[in-house]
Structures are given as C-alpha cells and as structure tokens.
Structure 1
Amino acid sequence: MRRIKFITSAVLLSLSATVFAQSDTDNKSIMNMKMNAGVITRKLKETRKFYTEVLGFGVTFENEFYLLMHTPNKQAELSFLLPNHPTQQPIFQPAFEGKGMYLTIEVDDVDAIYREIKQKNVEIIIDIRDEAWGDRHFTIQDPNGIGVDIVTYSGQG
C-alpha cells in the first residue's frame, strides 16, 4: 500500500508526529512532541485485523489488553485498550461507544487506495468524490464505528 499519513483534526486529535518551536523572551527552544490517539474497545482482534489487512498498519506493541499500531510509514500511531481492565485507572475504563470520532488519512493517490480497498470487499460508507474545497476522498468504517476518511488534497480551495 502507498504512503499513508494522518492529518490533524482541530476538533479531535492530532495523530501525526509534531515538532514545534516554543519561544520565550530569552531564548527559543525546540520541543519534540509525539502523540497517539487511543480508543477503548472490546474489539481488539477485529480492530487489529482491520487496520493491518485493510490499511496496511503494523503492530508496534501488543499484549492481552493493549494494542499499539503504526501507519505503514511509521509516522503516526493509534492505540486500542480493553475497557474495564484492572491495570487501568478509572478514566481509561469506559468503552468508546462508536460515535463522535473520525480519522483522516492522507494518501498520495486516493483513487489507487480506493481501488485496493474495493478489491478487499470493504464497505464504502461515502463513495469517492471531489469536494468544492479541493479534497478527493472516500470513507470507510472501522470495527469500532470510527469513520476513516481517506483523502488526497489537491491544494485548491
């Protein structure tokens, strides 16, 4: 599969590795920041299968209650955690309920990825289309109900 990278969502989460400069009055320092979004789900096996077989992700780390995956180019990660696991604090206990989250994956050639995913018989939620603001994209859904928008930006709009 071709190069894939996540694009940031101002409303949700930045899944891409980010480097930014923080300035103060005396000096400038560079701070490296890496972040991965996490989804609490009972569907670890189904999730692993979807992201590896449909999108070409790799497994960075895995145990019986946690799954950390990376994009094919290893520039972004996404994690999954079993709900109500005794090793986790209360904030990490409730399961995601399948609404209110999406992922955007930018690719070099959305049409090629679209054909690859169609050949895998993955259900297309929003068929491939061009938007007035310049995006060409389509959407699939992961086993947790998360919409995965796959897009090529044209730079127009």
Structure 2
Amino acid sequence: MRAKQITTNLPVADLEAARSFYTDFLGLRDEEFNLGWVARYTDPDTGVHVQLVTRDATGAEDSVISVHTDDVEAAYAEAQQRGYEIVHPLTTEEWGVRRFFVRAPDGNVLNIVSHPD
C-alpha cells in the first residue's frame, strides 16, 4: 500500500466547543468539512490541518489516524493477506468515501480511506 497523506484523528468531546481553540488560537481558518461527528480545520496558506472526531459514525472503534490511499481495495486485500485484524470492513460510506479500519500490531486502529475523484 502507498500512503498519499496521513491525518491525525484528534478525539474531542464536542466539536463546537473545541472549534474556537483550533480556529482562533491556532489560526486554522477553513472548515473543510463538518459531518457533526468529524470536522477538519485547515490553514489555506500552509495546508496545516487538524481533524477532530467525537465518535466514528459507523466504525465499532475510533481510529487514531486516517491513511489516504489511491487503491483502498488493494490495501484491504494486503491487510487481509498479512493477517491483520480488520476492525471495520471495506465499505462505501454514505458521505462518499471508501474505507476500512485495520488494527496495527501495536493495537492502534487505522482508518484506511480513499476519496472519490
């Protein structure tokens, strides 16, 4: 698998309560998206961003990072071949991404995701 980008999924209790710290104090101005349970805030000049997550909408567990890849099907097949625990099966989510969750040998859960072009 080839990772194109890795985004940290920062757990927060309340998106709205956390938002002003990351936008006002850290200066992340753009809200790229907000699904009510996950939101990403970015500095449009530098690309620096943070993704805040209250609780994953469909996954049984929360992931610590999102790994963006071009070929999520191949990544899924490789994870299975290597015998890694699949925590959330390969799914096309209602908000448009195709993803699965895999548990790393250290216990961390990773969201392996592909966005439509």
Match of 1:108 in 2: 70
Match of 2:7 in 1: 7
Match of 1:141 in 2: 103
TM-score when normalising by structure 2? 0.51
Q: Distance in 1 between the 2:96 and 2:115 partners?
A: 6
Match of 1:96 in 2: none
Map 1:26-65 onto structure 2 (within 5 A).
none
Q: Deviations over 1:53-100 (max 9, x none)?
A: xxxxxxxxxxxxxxxxxxxxxxxxxxxxxxxxxxxxxxxxxxxxxx97
In the TM superposition, structure 1's runs of 4+ consecutive aligned residues that sit over 6 Å from their partners are none
Count of aligned positions: 76
Using the TM superposition, give the Cα deviation of residue 4 of structure 1 relative to its aligned residue in structure 2, in angstroms. Answer: 3.4
Q: Distance in 2 between the 1:145 and 1:8 partners?
A: 16
Q: Distance in 2 between the 1:153 and 1:32 partners?
A: 18
Q: Please tell me whether Structure 1 or Structure 2 has the larger radius of gyration of its CA atoms.
A: 1
Q: Distance in 1 between the 2:62 and 2:78 partners?
A: 27
Structure 2: runs of 5+ lacking an equivalent: 13-41, 49-60
Secondary structure at 1:117 match in 2: helix
TM-score when normalising by structure 1? 0.39
Q: Percent identity?
A: 29
